[in-house]
């Protein structure tokens, strides 16, 4: 190999590294981050993107080089170089990906443990459910309610706030056990550790806030959890990320991160506006992205708005076990 080609190779290598590093930081592929753990995700994602960009450039570069350099020339009917293996090269391209993968695996594990702290994300069937297996509740009846029993998780300290989340076709419902408040939008105080105890009333849903980089399936008959600390004031979408029926796409809630004062105020307002029984129902219809679809759905199922609110009341009266 001549000195010149060595220099070219080294220059290409540097260029490639720089390009990968630059793209890894400047891909603009993620929304803003608004939770304590989101920057961890972002830095892992950025490193992965850096590596992926590097591999992408190497492979596509070699491919393009071969296409140009080793194209068949006119009038050449011969065969190529009959080289069919090189043990050293093969060892290298087995070992290098293995090392990269190992690093990425360990880094992922690190981030995973920092985000979830080895917390029990759920995945246990409710004890009560399994015992009540007499199969009397009819499938498809959205009014059957489960009695969630929170499972002890090895969590990272006690959360400042626990909210019970219920997913149903096609809405989210949030219960604040401390005040008994039931709301259709999720308000959270800034910089407080929050735990969501989630279950579904009918089919699988998934609770996703892209700005938090967090997602968790919400499954009927189980309780699953998410823990996080919101770190940015603002309004964020809560997206259902598990197919839950025809109107899955419009099942979106709103998440507000408020200052602690604003959060308290919101809670008080909601309680003031509560029903005489002392159960608070916040039906913030303007936060429903498309009430026309909700209406269409109600008509289809034959559920009247009053039934819907009584369902919410019923769920709100569940014993708080947080």
Partner 1 sequence: MTQLQDHPRLAVAPKVELELPAEPWWRFFTFSTDHKVIGIQYLVTTFFFYLVGGALATAVRAELATPEADFLGFERYNGAFTLHATIMIFLWIVPALTGGFGNYLVPLMIGARDMAFPKLNAVAFWLVPPSGILLLASLFIEAPAAGWTSYPPLSLISGKVGEELWILSILLAGTSSILAAVNFITTILKMRMPGMKMEDMPLFCWAMLAASVLTLIATPVLAGALILLSFDLLAGTAFFNPSGGGDPVVYQHMFWFYSHPAVYIMILPVFGMISEILPVHARKPIFAYKAIAYSSLAICFLGLIVWAHHMFTSGTPDWMRVFFMIATMAIAVPTGIKVFSWLATLWGGKIHFRSAMLFGLGFVSMFVIGGLSGIILASVPLDIHVHDTYFVVAHLHYVLFGGSVFGIYAGIYHWFPKMTGRMLNEFWGRVHFVLTFVGFNICFLPMHKLGLMGMPRRVAQYDPQFADLNWISSVGAFMLALSTLPFLVNAIYSWVAGPKAGDNPWQALTLEWTTSSPPPHHNFYGDPILLTGPYDYGLHSKETLDYFAAQLQTLRELALAEAEPTSS
Partner 2 sequence: MQGSLASEMLMVGHSQAHAEHPDHRVFGILMFLVAEGCLFLGLFMAYLAYSLTAPIWPPEGTPERELLLPGINTVILLSSSFVIHKAGSAIKADDVKGLRLWFALTALMGAIFLAGQLYEYSNLEFGLTTNLFASTFYVLTGFHGLHVLAGLLFILAVLWRSFKPGHYSAQHHFGVEAAEIYWHFVDGVWVVLFILLYLL
313 binds partner 1 (CB under 8 A): no
What is the contact mask toward partner 2 in residues 101 to 130, using x (rule: CB under 8 A)? -----------------------xx-x--x
Select from 9-17, 108-116, 160-168, 258-266 the region that touches partner 1 (CB under 8 A).
108-116
CA nearest neighbour of 23 among 49, 59, 58: 49
127 binds, among partner 1, partner 2, none (CB under 5 to 8 A by kind): partner 2
CA nearest neighbour of 205 among 255, 162, 171: 171
What is the contact mask toward partner 2 in residues 37 to 56, using x (rule: CB under 8 A)? --------------------
Question: CB of 126 within 8 A of CB of 318?
Answer: no
Give 39 or 260: the residue with its C-beta nearer to partner 1: 39
Strands 122-125 and 214-218: unpaired
As beta bridge partners, residue 258 has: 189
Helix axes 87-116 and 38-69, enclosed angle (nearest 10): 160
239 binds partner 1 (CB under 8 A): yes
9 binds partner 1 (CB under 8 A): no
Residue 253 dihedral angles phi and psi, to the nearest 5°: -115, 180
300 binds partner 2 (CB under 8 A): no
Contact residue for partner 2 among 134, 158, 285, 306 (CB under 8 A): 134
Give 108 or 259: the residue with its C-beta nearer to partner 1: 108
What is the contact mask toward partner 1 in residues 111 to 150, using x (rule: CB under 8 A)? xx--xx-x-xxxx-x---xx-xx-x-xxxxx--x-x----
**Measured torsion, CA atoms of residues 228, 231, 234, 236, in degrees rounded to the nearest 10:** -30
Distance from the Cα of residue 139 to its chain's centroid:
28
Give 42 or 307: the residue with its C-beta nearer to partner 1: 42
Q: Which two tokens stand for residue 267?
A: 């809670």
CA dihedral sign of residues 292, 297, 300, 302:
negative
Place of tokens 């509740």: 137
137 binds partner 2 (CB under 8 A): no
Minimum gap (Å) between residue 162 Cβ and partner 1 = 18
Give 72 or 157: the residue with its C-beta nearer to partner 1: 72
138 binds, among partner 2, partner 1, none (CB under 5 to 8 A by kind): partner 1
Under 8 Å CB-to-CB from 237, ≥6 apart: which residues?
209, 210, 252, 253, 254, 255
Give 9 or 130: the residue with its C-beta nearer to partner 1: 130
197 burial type by CB count under 10 A (0-12 exposed, 13-18 middle, 19+ buried): buried
Residue 5 dihedral angles phi and psi, to the nearest 5°: -65, -30
133 binds partner 2 (CB under 8 A): yes
299 binds, among partner 1, partner 2, none (CB under 5 to 8 A by kind): none
Give 177 or 289: the residue with its C-beta nearer to partner 1: 289
Minimum gap (Å) between residue 281 Cβ and partner 1 = 25
Give 28 or 135: the residue with its C-beta nearer to partner 2: 135
Minimum gap (Å) between residue 131 Cβ and partner 2 = 6
Contact residue for partner 1 among 9, 18, 101, 127 (CB under 8 A): 101
- Specify the 3-state DSSP secondary structure of 271: helix
Under 8 Å CB-to-CB from 17, ≥6 apart: which residues?
54
Residue 164 dihedral angles phi and psi, to the nearest 5°: -90, 130
Place of tokens 């598990």: 242
Using CB under 8 A, list all residues that contact partner 2: 124-125, 127, 130-131, 133-135
């Amino acid at each position: 190999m001549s000195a010149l080609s060595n220099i070219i190779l080294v220059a290409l290598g540097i260029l490639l590294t720089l390009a990968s590093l630059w793209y890894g930081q400047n891909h603009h592929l993620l929304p803003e981050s608004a939770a304590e753990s989101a920057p961890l995700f972002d830095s892992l994602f950025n490193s992965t993107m850096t590596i992926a960009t590097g591999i992408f450039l190497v492979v596509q570069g070699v491919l393009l080089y071969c296409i140009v350099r080793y194209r068949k020339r006119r009038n050449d009917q011969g065969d190529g170089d009959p080289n069919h293996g090189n043990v050293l090269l093969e060892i290298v391209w087995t070992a290098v990906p293995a090392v990269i993968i190992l690093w990425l695996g360990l880094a992922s594990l690190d981030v995973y443990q920092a985000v979830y702290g080895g917390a029990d994300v759920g995945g246990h069937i409710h004890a009560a459910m399994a015992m009540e297996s007499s199969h009397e509740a009819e499938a498809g009846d959205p009014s059957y309610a489960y009695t969630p029993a929170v499972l002890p998780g090895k969590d990272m300290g006690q959360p400042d706030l626990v909210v019970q989340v219920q997913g149903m076709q096609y809405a989210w419902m949030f219960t604040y056990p401390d005040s008994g408040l039931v709301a259709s939008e999720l308000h959270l105080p800034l910089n407080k550790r929050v735990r969501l105890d989630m279950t579904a009333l009918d089919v699988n849903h998934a609770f996703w806030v892209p700005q938090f980089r967090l997602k968790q399936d919400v499954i009927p008959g189980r309780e699953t959890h998410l823990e996080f600390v919101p770190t940015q004031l603002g309004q964020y979408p809560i997206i259902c990320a598990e197919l839950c029926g025809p109107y899955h796409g419009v099942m979106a809630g709103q998440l507000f991160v408020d200052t602690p004062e604003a959060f308290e105020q919101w809670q008080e307002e909601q309680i003031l506006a509560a029903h005489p029984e002392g159960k608070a129902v916040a039906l913030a219809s303007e936060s429903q992205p498309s009430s026309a679809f909700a209406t269409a759905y109600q008509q289809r199922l034959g559920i009247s708005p009053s039934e819907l609110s009584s369902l919410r009341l019923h769920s709100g009266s569940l014993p708080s076990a947080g």
